[in-house]
């Protein structure tokens, strides 16, 4: 089935815009495939170093290029719940590779930081840049040129986008992404949020708050809300980088291990030494990128991906823009309600039919490109399935059920929660911004109110404690962009603004920073571009200026006469406190090189 005409028109627009960059990219990976895709180009000394710890038979096979060798890139650490399960994956992958007649080696590790740990802390200013560090770290591992394919072990916020950038940079190699899955359901996310608000109001103590947080984040796996980490897993599956049905199976289960073994066998099969050579740089094309954006809208996914998808696409020579993302939002309905867009978590979403159900619904309506290549083979239709454990311990798949298991969590296409996607791009005399609408009630999507201006999230929190945040207002938090301080997530604002909204005030947020992938019920125009430190209009807003945020019309305006606004001096902020401590001094070069948010906020440039 072909994609609907409006989806195809946007895809063709991206294809034409990307033509030169894409051709250049494909030429590079073709050259790499011809010259460096096997170990024959390595000297005897190179090979001896590369397989020194292998068995004699493995050395013979690798030296003669007789068997495929998988490079494992892992984000394992045992402090973070999402990555701790990866501890056992390399051994499992090596065992599965040997059984299938191949070899696997850990090519390298990449850092994996948790935004949940660094929220509101200095380390958060390294978070966005860690994506590019992860891409470079993976490149170091793969640069040894010992591998016929790579398998990537990553889950959370910046890790998966960084790994995708690396995979596409080594686009002559096949790449399979192997997830670890979400933790089991703990304290419901809405109950945890209530305790956070009570704590912020002084109605609950630290011990009570810590108990609630610990019951929510309680074991191995990703957090169960639908933030950036679980949006990553959706993207990898709908873009064909996972095996079908792999995303949301809990860690430490027989099915999870069976999926990992299967992914290993598939990675071996799609090498140049196998029967279905599938270099990832050719596999991921404009249709795959559009499918990722469609999935993001249909599930109400993380706003962070309005940055990451652009950077990921650029790594494949594809020029994706915010306008493309915005236009696709108008064409894609919201089919999922997962916290913060609803009360359910990702385990409930998976139980209701999960990605298999959602992919089938979107394919049947022509909203996804079916004619794509995936790590599983030709076409996206094989992903409209549920993965189960067979009697012999292998993975078996069956067609997703025709009916949702819970239409309050996962709706069929003809009963969509809203006719448009969960994200919207705003434009106006303040530049461009992104807003997540899926969790914001329709009556709160338009707000016109005076500005209260702060140069840090701490400034707003101090004003809240002082009791000065009265009446309706739009909080403007500036000097939070990528060049200013690394574009940290401003998640601490969520609780304060949520309390004020619950008290009956009409409030909103405008910022050149980011919010958490769990952006919630308060309307928030984020990623404002150009940022304040680049003399963006946000740096000319004064306290009391009337701002109009209209998420329905897609506009963001300061209602000040144009001539007066243009003549204002831009504010300056003292950023010296953001330049040192917690490793921030090591990232000064990133702050200088980084591009705009709407260009992917990358140090690597654009497509």
List, as residue ranges, the binding site for [4Fe-4S] cluster. Answer: 156, 223
Residue at token pair 């959602």: 358
Of 70, 60, 57, 80, which is closest to residue 261 (Cα–Cα)? Answer: 70
DSSP 356-424: HHHHHHHHHTT-S--S-EETTEE-SGGGSEEEEE-TTSSEEEEEPPSS-S-TTTB--GGG-SBSS-SEE
Query: CA-to-CA distance for 286 and 280, rounded, in angstroms?
Result: 13
Query: CA-to-CA distance for 597 and 531, rounded, in angstroms?
Result: 9
The beta-strand segments (E) located in 410-490 are 423-428, 431-436, 446-454, 473-477
Residue at token pair 């009556």: 443
The pair phi, psi for residue 230, each rounded to 5°, is -75, -25
Q: Residue 487 gets which letter from DSSP?
A: -
451 has which bridge partners?
474
Token couple for 115: 């935004």
Instruction: Measure the CA dihedral 415/416/419/425, to 10°.
Output: 180
Residue at token pair 């798949």: 397
Query: b/e per residue, 73-98, with b = 16+ CB within 10 A?
Result: bbbbbeebbbbbbbeebbebbbebbe
Token couple for 72: 């494992």
Is 318 in contact with 19 (CB distance < 8 Å)?
Answer: no
Q: Residue 188 gets which letter from DSSP?
A: -
Query: CA-to-CA distance for 302 and 309, rounded, in angstroms?
Result: 11
Note if the bond before 340 is cis, omega within 30 degrees: yes
Query: CA-to-CA distance for 28 and 170, rounded, in angstroms?
Result: 10
Token couple for 476: 């403007």
Cβ atoms < 10 Å from Cβ of 424: 26
Token couple for 200: 């912020």
Is 519 in contact with 491 (CB distance < 8 Å)?
Answer: no
Query: CA-to-CA distance for 209 and 200, rounded, in angstroms?
Result: 10
388 has which bridge partners?
396
Query: CA-to-CA distance for 395 and 265, rounded, in angstroms?
Result: 12
Token couple for 514: 């980011």
Instruction: Give the chain's end-to-end CA distance (angstroms, integer).
Output: 30
Known binding-site residue numbers: 156, 223
Is 559 in contact with 393 (CB distance < 8 Å)?
Answer: no
């Amino acid at each position: 089935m072909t994609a609907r005409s409006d989806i195809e028109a946007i895809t063709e627009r991206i294809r034409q815009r990307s033509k030169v960059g894409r051709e250049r990219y494909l030429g590079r990976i073709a050259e790499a495939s011809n010259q460096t895709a096997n170990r024959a180009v390595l000297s005897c000394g190179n090979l001896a170093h590369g397989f020194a710890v292998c068995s004699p038979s493995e050395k013979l096979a690798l030296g003669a290029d007789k068997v495929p060798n998988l490079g494992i890139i892992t984000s394992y650490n045992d402090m973070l719940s999402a990555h701790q399960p990866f501890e056992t994956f390399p051994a499992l992958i090596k065992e599965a590779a040997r059984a299938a007649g191949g070899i696997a080696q850990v090519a390298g590790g990449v850092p994996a930081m948790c935004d949940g740990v660094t929220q509101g802390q200095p380390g958060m200013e390294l978070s966005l840049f860690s994506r590019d560090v992860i891409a470079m770290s993976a490149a170091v591992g793969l640069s040894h040129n010992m591998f016929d394919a790579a398998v990537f072990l990553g889950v959370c916020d910046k890790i998966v986008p960084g790994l995708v950038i690396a995979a596409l940079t080594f686009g002559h190699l096949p790449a399979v992404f192997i997830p670890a899955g979400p933790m089991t359901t703990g304290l419901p996310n809405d109950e945890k949020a209530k305790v956070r608000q009570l704590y912020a109001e002084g109605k609950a103590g630290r011990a009570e708050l810590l108990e609630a947080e610990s019951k929510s984040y309680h074991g191995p796996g990703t957090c169960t809300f639908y933030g950036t980490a679980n949006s990553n897993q959706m993207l990898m599956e709908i873009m064909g980088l996972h095996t079908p049905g792999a995303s949301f199976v809990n860690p430490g289960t027989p099915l999870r291990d069976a999926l990992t073994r299967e992914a290993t066998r598939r990675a071996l099969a799609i090498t140049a030494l196998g029967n279905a050579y599938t270099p990832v740089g050719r596999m991921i094309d404009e249709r795959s990128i559009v499918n990722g954006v469609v999935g993001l809208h249909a599930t109400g996914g993380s706003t962070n991906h309005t940055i990451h998808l652009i950077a990921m696409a650029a790594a494949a020579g594809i020029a994706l823009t915010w306008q493309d993302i915005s236009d696709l939002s108008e064409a894609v309905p919201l089919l999922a309600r997962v916290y913060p867009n609803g009360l359910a978590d990702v385990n409930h979403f998976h139980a209701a039919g999960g990605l298999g159900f959602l992919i089938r619904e979107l394919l049947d309506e022509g909203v996804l490109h079916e004619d794509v290549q995936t790590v599983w083979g030709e076409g996206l239709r094989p992903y409209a399935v549920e993965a189960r454990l067979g009697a012999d311990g292998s993975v078996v798949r069956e067609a997703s059920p025709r009916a949702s298991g819970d239409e309050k969590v996962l709706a069929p296409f003809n009963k969509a929660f809203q006719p448009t996607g969960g994200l919207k791009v705003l434009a106006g005399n303040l530049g461009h911004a992104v807003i997540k609408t899926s969790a914001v009630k329709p009556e709160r999507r338009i707000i016109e109110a005076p500005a209260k201006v702060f140069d840090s999230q701490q400034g707003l929190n101090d004003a809240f404690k002082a009791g000065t945040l009265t009446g309706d207002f739009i909080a403007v938090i500036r000097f939070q962009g990528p060049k200013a301080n690394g574009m940290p997530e401003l998640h601490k604002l969520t609780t304060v603004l949520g309390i004020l909204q619950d008290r009956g005030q009409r409030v909103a947020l405008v910022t050149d920073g980011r919010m958490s992938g769990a952006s919630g019920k308060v309307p928030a125009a984020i990623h404002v571009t150009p940022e304040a430190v680049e003399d963006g209009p946000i740096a000319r807003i004064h306290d009391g200026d009337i701002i109009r945020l209209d998420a329905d019309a897609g506009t963001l305006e300061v209602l000040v006469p144009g001539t007066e606004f243009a003549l204002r001096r831009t504010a300056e902020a003292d950023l010296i406190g953001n330049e040192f401590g917690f490793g921030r001094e090591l990232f000064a070069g990133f702050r200088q090189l980084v591009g705009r948010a709407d260009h992917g906020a990358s140090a690597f440039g654009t497509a």
